[in-house]
Amino acid sequence: MDYGYLGEKPKSKKKKIREIIFFIIEIILVITAAYCIIAFGVERTTMIGESMEPTLSDQNKIIINKMAYRFAGPKRFDVIVFKPEGKEHSYYNIKRVIGLPGETIQIQNGSVYIDDKLLEEKFEMPGIVNEGLAVEAVTLDEDEYFVLGDNRNNSEDSRFANIGNVTRKEIAGKAWIRISPFNFVNLLGEKREE
């Protein structure tokens, strides 16, 4: 009996069909996993503008963790990525969470107050020149967040009507990783203990 070139037995037709079916199933699983990661896990975006400097610069590539807020809301000082609903030409915005649901925010004399208490920043921030809507007390609904850019005097954020308070459903996820130069976004700009 001739077993071919390497002395192997020829594969049976059933075995070949089974291998092809398993190969097709593996391809389907890989495509499904890739789709789930992109649709529900992570996404890449680009920082547009200078509103988050010095933490993030214009054209920085950012990885969004879309799973970060599936079971719990953003925390104060998280950098979030959101897209305001119902806005023409809307693109992803990247800002820092300052006010949480139910809180009252007001900006006075260049400083942020939450529920009438001065906010102790974790980051070096300049005094705010334009208080915008927050010159008057702004009380957040149970699904709203007040966001500011780190470049406080060159940022379009919750102080202005075209952004306003950000609702939970507008949030795409947490700005997680800056690709180049590589770093975790929430570690950037944080005050260091001397």
pLDDT in tens, 135-144: 999 999 999 9
100: exposed, middle or buried (C-beta count within 10 Å: 0-12, 13-18, 19+)? middle
Provide the pLDDT confidence category of residue 190 given band limits of 50, 70 and 90: low
Closest CA to 148 of 176, 128, 167: 128
**What contacts 24+ positions apart, CB below 8 Å, involve 82-87?**
82/147, 82/166, 82/170, 82/171, 82/172, 83/170, 83/172, 84/162, 84/163, 84/164, 84/166, 84/170, 85/167, 85/169, 85/170, 87/162
Q: What is the pLDDT of residue 5?
A: 53
% of residues, the chain, pLDDT over 90: 55
Provide the pLDDT confidence category of residue 6 given band limits of 50, 70 and 90: low
Residues catalogued as catalytic: 51, 95
Q: What is the pLDDT of residue 8?
A: 53
Are 60 and 79 in contact by the 8 Å Cβ rule? The answer is no
Is the confidence at residue 153, as pLDDT, over 50?
Answer: yes
Q: What is the pLDDT of residue 84?
A: 80
Provide the pLDDT confidence category of residue 16 given band limits of 50, 70 and 90: confident
Q: Mean per-residue pLDDT for 79-97?
A: 83
Confidence (pTM): 0.78
Provide the pLDDT confidence category of residue 67 given band limits of 50, 70 and 90: confident
Beta strands in the chain (DSSP E): 42-46, 61-65, 79-82, 93-99, 104-108, 111-114, 117-118, 138-139, 144-148, 166-167, 171-178, 183-184
- Which run of H or E residues covers position 180? none
Tell me the per-residue pLDDT of 32-48, one tens digit each, with 9 for 90 and over: 777 766 666 778 889 99
Is 95 strand, coil or helix? strand
For 61, 102, 120, 147, the CA distances from 86, given in Å and listed in that order, are 25, 23, 33, 18
Q: What is the pLDDT of residue 164?
A: 93
Q: Mean per-residue pLDDT for 118-137?
A: 90
Tell me the per-residue pLDDT of 89-99, one tens digit each, with 9 for 90 and over: 568 999 999 99
Tell me the per-residue pLDDT of 158-179, one tens digit each, with 9 for 90 and over: 999 989 999 999 999 999 999 8
DSSP annotation of 4: -
Domains and CATH numbers, the chain: 41-187 (2.10.109.10)
Alpha-carbon gap, residue 129 to 111, rounded angstroms: 9
Alpha-carbon gap, residue 124 to 142, rounded angstroms: 29
More confident residue, 51 or 70: 51
Closest CA to 59 of 78, 68, 46, 70: 46
